[in-house]
Structures are given as C-alpha cells and as structure tokens.
Amino acid sequence: MSGQTEPFTFDDISETAIAAAIAKYPAGKQASAVMPLLHIAQRQMERAAGSAWVPRAAMDAVAARLGMAPVRVYEIATFYLMYNTKPVGKFHLQVCTTTPCWLRGSDDIVAACKKATGIAQFGETSADGLFTMTEVECLGACVNAPILQINDDYYEDLDTARTEALLAALKSGAPAPPPGSTIGRHASAPLTGQTALRSPSQATQNAE
C-alpha cells in the first residue's frame, strides 16, 4: 500500500495539539489520548499530502509517543471508520445511504457521484486522485436528507443535478461551495416556510 511505511514525524501544529490532548489526562494515563492523536495525525496528512488518512508509520508514531504497543493503536484505528487507514482523495465523498436518506433519493446521489467521478464502487478513488467515495451510515441530518459529506462539510437537500454541479465545482478547483442546504433552506426550517409560531404567542401578548 502506498506510503504506509513512509517516515512520519509530527509537525509543529500537530505537536501543539498533541500537548493539549495529552494534558487532558492524568499522568501515566496518556494512552487515553490515542484517539485525539490519531485524528491529529490524519489532519497532518491532510495538510501535508492533501489526503486525510493515517498511514501505518503514523500509527507507530502515535504508539511510540503514548508508550503503547503498536497493535493496540492498529486495533483502534481500524475499529473506527472515520480514521482512514488507506489513502483517500482530496475530496472524501461520504454518502449517507441509511433509510431516511435512501427514501429521499440517496441512490440518485450515489449514481451522480459515480457519474461525475468515474468511480465504480464504494471505497474506490477516482483516476485523477481527487475523489474517494465511501458509503456511510446515518450522518444525523435526516431532516435535510439526502446528505453528502465532503471531507468535514455536509451538503444537504441534494438531487442529481445539484450533486453534479457541486462535484463539477470542486473538480474545477474553484473554492468549495458553502456547506449546508443546497436549496437555500435555513438550518432545518420547513421547506414551505414557517408553519408554527407565526405570530407572537398568547402568553407573550398577555405579558405585554
């Protein structure tokens, strides 16, 4: 696997974050910081290599830093799906296909992603190395389903056309479109505008 064993050392930004993470735990219990440290390593890879993943060398670095056996770190990194143990593209497309999103058309989003990126299967990376598509479970934003999480940002209320436009924009190298609802919905407010509390409540009027 590419780059799994390339030497890995923490950079200055990471070191600051590591010091803060370890300081949260009592002395001698620094192994508790393993999850923040893996995240810090993944962030550093994103900064340095443009791909947010944790190579084995980074897991070993985390193990050495925390005085853990490397295999204990491997266990944690492979258990949690948000640590990428293989390289991912610059844009990590995480499509939610759990029931609410699926009812609201997540199959269309998957198809649109495949069409726009040329990816055939979940878990693959596009030929240009820009996109990796992953199937994820509920992202917890069902009100604005279907959801596509790209790196850290949620894009909501998608359909085929808007997904294709979004990916085209990313592909062109333009600044990423603002996250959130792609139809201008404010937070999770109803599509048809406010349906309750349209006038000041009785209680409020009485108080006046």
Partner 1 sequence: MAKVIVDGIEVEIANGSSVLQACEAAGKEIPRFCYHERLSVAGNCRMCLVEVEKMPKPVASCGQPVADGMVVFTDTENVRRARRGVMEFLLINHPLDCPICDQGGECDLQDEAVSYGRDTSRYDEAKRAVSQPDWGPLVKTTMTRCIHCTRCIRFSTEIAGVPELGATARGESMQVGTYVEKALSSELSGNLIDLCPVGALTAKPYAFTARPWELRKTDSVDVLDAGGANIRIDARGAEVLRILPRMNDAVNEEWLGDKSRFSVDGLKRRRLDQPWLRDGARLRPATWDECFAAIAARIKAVAPSRIGAIAGDLMDVESMFALRDLFTSLGSGNLDCRADGARFDASQRQFYVFNTSIAGIEDADAILIIGSNPRHEAPVLNARIRKRYLASPTFIGHIGLPHDLTYPAMHLGTDPSVLAALTDGSHPFAATLRAAKTPMLILGAGALARPDGAALHAAAWALAAQFNMLRADWHGFNILHHAAARVGGLDLGFLPAAGGQDTRAMLDGGVDVLWLLGADNADIAAIPPETFVIYQGHHGDAGAARADVILPGAAYTEKDGIYVNTEGRVQQGFIAVKPPGSAREDWRIIRAASASLGQPLVYDTLAALRTRLAAAHPHFAAPAAFRRLAATDLQGPAPGQVALSNAPFTAVAANYYQTDPISRASPTMAACVAAHSPADNTNFGLAAE
Binding residues for partner 1, rule: CB under 8 A, are: 56, 69-72, 74-75, 78-79
What minimum distance in Å lies between the beta carbon of 68 and partner 1?
Answer: 9
In the complex with partner 1, the residue whose CB is nearer, 63 or 116, is 63
Q: What is the distance between the alpha carbons of residues 46 and 65, in angstroms, rounded to a whole number?
A: 20
What minimum distance in Å lies between the beta carbon of 27 and partner 1?
Answer: 16
What minimum distance in Å lies between the beta carbon of 8 and partner 1?
Answer: 15
In the complex with partner 1, the residue whose CB is nearer, 76 or 143, is 76
What minimum distance in Å lies between the beta carbon of 88 and partner 1?
Answer: 17
In the complex with partner 1, the residue whose CB is nearer, 11 or 75, is 75
In the complex with partner 1, the residue whose CB is nearer, 56 or 92, is 56
- Residue 11's identity, in one-letter code, is D
In the complex with partner 1, the residue whose CB is nearer, 16 or 78, is 78
What minimum distance in Å lies between the beta carbon of 117 and partner 1?
Answer: 25
